[in-house]
Amino acid sequence: MSATVGHLCGEACQAPPPGKALRAISITLNGERHSLAAPSTLAELLTALDQTPDTVATAVNGEFVARTARADHLLHDGDAVFTFQPITGG
């Protein structure tokens, strides 16, 4: 199943800077294929999904991505993104 995840690039999609053409990338999000505008970060993806950053943990291609690193983590064509509830307790 394929879906488009929001319109992540804002107004830049309508008027990209000269020499900076936007493109779509395909990712797998929790096992489902999605398309989104590139460049996009993990933080932008979570915002488009209405995910509260404090309530989910994230991994890209099997590697944990800390909450503080999401804004700098660029997504690439073919990435596998997983969001999940962190396990807490004692």
pLDDT digits (tens, 9 = 90+) for 19-28: 555 689 999 9
Task: Please state which architecture CATH assigns to domain 24-90.
Answer: Roll (3.10)
Task: Give the Cα separation of 20 and 48 in Å (integer).
Answer: 22
Whether residue 8 is predicted with pLDDT greater than 50 in this model: the reply is: no
Q: What's the pLDDT score for residue 53?
A: 83
Mention every residue, 6+ apart, whose C-beta is less than 8 A from residue 85. 55, 56, 57
- pLDDT tier at 85, thresholds 50, 70, 90: confident
Q: What's the pLDDT score for residue 86?
A: 77
With vertex at residue 20, the alpha carbon angle to CA 17 and CA 43, rounded to the nearest 5 degrees, is 90
Selected residue with higher pLDDT from 4 and 71:
71
Task: Give the Cα separation of 82 and 29 in Å (integer).
Answer: 6
